[in-house]
Structure 1
């Protein structure tokens, strides 16, 4: 549970200013490799699709999704795997047919590989990833703040006076 304090309000406003300052987002260049970062929290998923421009990584888009109550019961590594599957599925038209780098602070894909025979949900997720061509890069959690923050935004939204909440219908991804 997050306490919405004056410090939290200031941090939120600073973040809003930073996100709205140049460069906000760049247009994708399909001749360059994409970078996909994901994260999962107890309540949501976050992802960032970006590309390198010179020596700097620039975002193309930000994604955030609130977990369904049954998904919130998944163990940490299952939520991380769901974040990977969800991000690749929702942005497949950027990623299919070309190599990209997947950046994570956890090892969800290794866990998926080892547990795909034991869990039918994980098996489906693992099979879904097969058409994608990517390399995995580890990034320490302290440098993974953009996707990390997006996975937690739904907790903050519940503290706002009149939050806009998007929901989804249907079954497991």
Structure 2
């Protein structure tokens, strides 16, 4: 890992058939450096999830995959922009959210066309 003192960026996406996550860091000039990749095909129950649930699942699985690297504050970039409104209405998402509470992260919306790393991984 080149930048031990820099914050991690976790980009996530779901495609309806799979989920993907891309872990990176930005250097002093804003250039992103890849650290790790993750993708997984959705199981049958995951395919039945709504788009919002699939996007949240991508976040959950991405964090679980790279948990050993995320011991300090990090940034999540996802195409899901209304997550905070959706979690309160869904028991599954509420449970996932409670499991992530000990972590320090900020979620920011990143348009799908700008989230190409994670998008590509979710379709593999």
State the TM-score, normalized to the length of structure 1. Answer: 0.66
| 8 Å Cα contact 2:79-2:109 kept in structure 1 | yes
Is there any run of 5+ residues in structure 2 with no aligned partner, and where?
Answer: none
Q: 1:125 to 1:42 in 2, by over 3 A?
A: same
* Structure possessing the higher radius of gyration over alpha carbons: 1
Deviations 1:109-148 (A, max 9, x none): 3145432xx42x2222011110111122222211111100
1:100 and 2:100 correspond: no
Deviations 1:64-113 (A, max 9, x none): 011101110101000011111111111111113x1111111112631454
List aligned pairs for 1:1-16, cutoff 5 A.
Answer: none
2:97 aligns with: 126
Distance 1:43 1:111 in 2: 24
Q: How many residue pairs were aligned?
A: 123
Stretches of 4+ moved more than 3 A in 1?
A: none
Distance 2:21 2:54 in 1: 13
Is there any run of 5+ residues in structure 1 with no aligned partner, and where?
Answer: 1-26, 154-173
List aligned pairs for 1:1-173, cutoff 5 A.
Answer: 27-53=1-27, 54-96=29-71, 98-107=72-81, 109-115=83-89, 118-119=90-91, 121-153=92-124
